[in-house]
Structure 1
């Protein structure tokens, strides 16, 4: 059974991350899903436990909401630019260990572009992503789980999984059109900004 690590920023997506982790735990088992608030005992050494969980996981789900990219610290500096920021550190560790990272974009949040990210996690901009929308939360999560399961279980039927596949199509002018389950999701340009 695959093991998952849920990466998220508290002020951006704590409730969505908790709901996503809960659905994953129901399907794959709670012992196979790590989310810090659910998985760390009181008094646990945070850095040690985080590193151990990342080393054991098969996939990292990076939950990205509308403020994920630009959240600032108490001094007005972008948290993502701080090498000690845990969201950044967890993603950096995953990329250094060649652990697949699946960006889970909430509602109309675009995938951050390469030049919007610190160099150590810039490859996040090239990761195949999945969108979870409030209006279709349950079906989008079922699609996410089906997509993950399809890659883990190659014996799965292509017909059963096809309805959940998300396709990204680039046009000549650099715009990317994303469709999920045959429905238009959103369009963004190569600067990463929504251009619907």
Structure 2
């Protein structure tokens, strides 16, 4: 099965990595996307699971925010440590011919080879995607479209109007109404009432 590995640095946009995984999984298929905290069962040894998942992937999305190159508590940059899993996953991808796509988040600037450890210097030359708050929906759609072009076998889920239910809740004299689409649960109420 097609696999896209979602790589991120703890302490740097891990919420964006989770959101990205959720958005793409909803659009394509959740089994296609590998993100450690979602994909590795509790109690399993994460070390071989991560490296095997990278090697089995067609692409690795390296989520990079403004703190990706930040120092750890001891003053050394986390990415410079050979035991850093973000680094190990990207190196593993390069070593096994997996396409690496940097996904720059917010104000994160493009990386240069000079600021990266030698093993990761190639990352500076990988064409990147960008996710910004001003055009997040458009950026996500563009990334999804590009992934569909680049990753063999990646197909979008079919959407049916029958599977979607519209919920519109405006309680009392509320000046704010919330309308949303809820898949599979027509009794869902944003106010917590069935």
Under a length normalisation based on structure 1, what TM-score does the superposition of the two structures give? 0.75
SS at match of 2:135: helix
d(CA) in 2 for partners of 1:152 and 1:87?
Answer: 22
Shift of 1:76: 1.4
Instruction: Name the counterpart of 2:149.
Output: 150
Deviations 1:154-185 (A, max 9, x none): 9xxxxxxxxxxxxxxxxxxxxxxxxxxxxxxx
1:94 matched to 2:93: yes
d(CA) in 2 for partners of 1:43 and 1:81?
Answer: 28
Shift of 1:9: 0.9
Shift of 1:114: 0.4
Higher relative contact order (CA 8 A, sep 6+): 2
Shift of 1:24: 1.4
Unaligned 5+ runs, structure 2? 154-194
Q: Is the 8 A contact 2:66 2:105 kept in 1?
A: yes
d(CA) in 1 for partners of 2:88 and 2:105?
Answer: 21
Q: Is the 8 A contact 1:114 1:125 kept in 2?
A: yes
d(CA) in 1 for partners of 2:152 and 2:45?
Answer: 35
Q: How many residues align?
A: 153
Shift of 1:12: 0.7
Under a length normalisation based on structure 2, what TM-score does the superposition of the two structures give? 0.75
Shift of 1:153: 6.3
Q: Which has the higher helix share?
A: 1
Q: Larger radius of gyration, structure 1 or 2? A: 2
Which stretches of structure 1, 4 residues or longer, exceed 4 Å deviation after superposition?
none
Shift of 1:105: 0.4
